[in-house]
Amino acid sequence: MKDIKVKWQPTIAVIAGLGILTSVGIWLFSQLTTSGPAKLVKRDTIANQVPEVTSQQPLTIQVPIKQANTSANSTDKALPPAKLSADAIAKQQGLLRAGNLTDYPVRLALLSKQELSASKTSGQSSYEPPAHWDFEPGEGGNKGLTLSLPKQALTIKRGDILVAFAQDGSRRYWGPYVAGDTPFPKWNPVAAEWQLILQP
């Protein structure tokens, strides 16, 4: 008797599972058939909605085009920095800050351009007499030192030439640098000065 009960239990479980699946399927089918006709559209209804195209009436399709924002206050794309004009660079006159990050003792020489009026009247060279400063290795560091002249004010302007030479006999040199025409010295508008830090 016990063997009969054991044999019938899996069969009962399978029949119960099939019954549940069948009832769920019937319920789903009834849901689809009750809401189905409202969603179906007849073929002739679709044909009536499409406009008839004739040879006299050209087919035109309107595609919306997104217009670019051309307002002056648009900050979507950053504009490249404007290149300074020659007149703007000519007005950049200020002190000279220099430093020596190399392992060499260095002499920094300056050849200042004369004002046009002074060079025309004197008939001499268009450059002032040269000036120079000596730096120990590492002197001035990353920030540099503000340079000056003993008898006159030092003002660097466009066209002034800077060259540095090693003083240990190694024949190393840096430059020549032309203010306003070469990447160095760099103009610092906040401090109103030219900056030249010699790199190894």
Q: What is the pLDDT of residue 151?
A: 86
Instruction: Check pLDDT > 60 for residue 152.
Output: yes
Highest-confidence segment of 13-17, 65-69, 178-182 = 178-182
Which residue reads 């030192």 in tokens? 145
In tens, the pLDDT along 29-80 reads: 666 555 554 444 455 544 455 455 444 555 444 544 444 444 444 444 443 4
| pTM of the predicted structure, to 2 decimals | 0.53
| DSSP letter assigned to residue 136 | -
Look at residue 191 in the predicted model and tell me its pLDDT: 92
Strand order in the sheet with 145-147: 145-147, 95-100, 193-198, 186-188
SS3 category, 33: helix
pLDDT band at residue 127, thresholds of 50, 70 and 90?
Answer: confident
**For the chain, which residues make up each domain, given as ranges?**
2-49, 88-198
Which of 154, 97, 95, 166 minimizes the C-alpha distance to 128? 154
Average per-residue pLDDT for the chain: 74
Say which residue the tokens 């019937």 belong to: 26
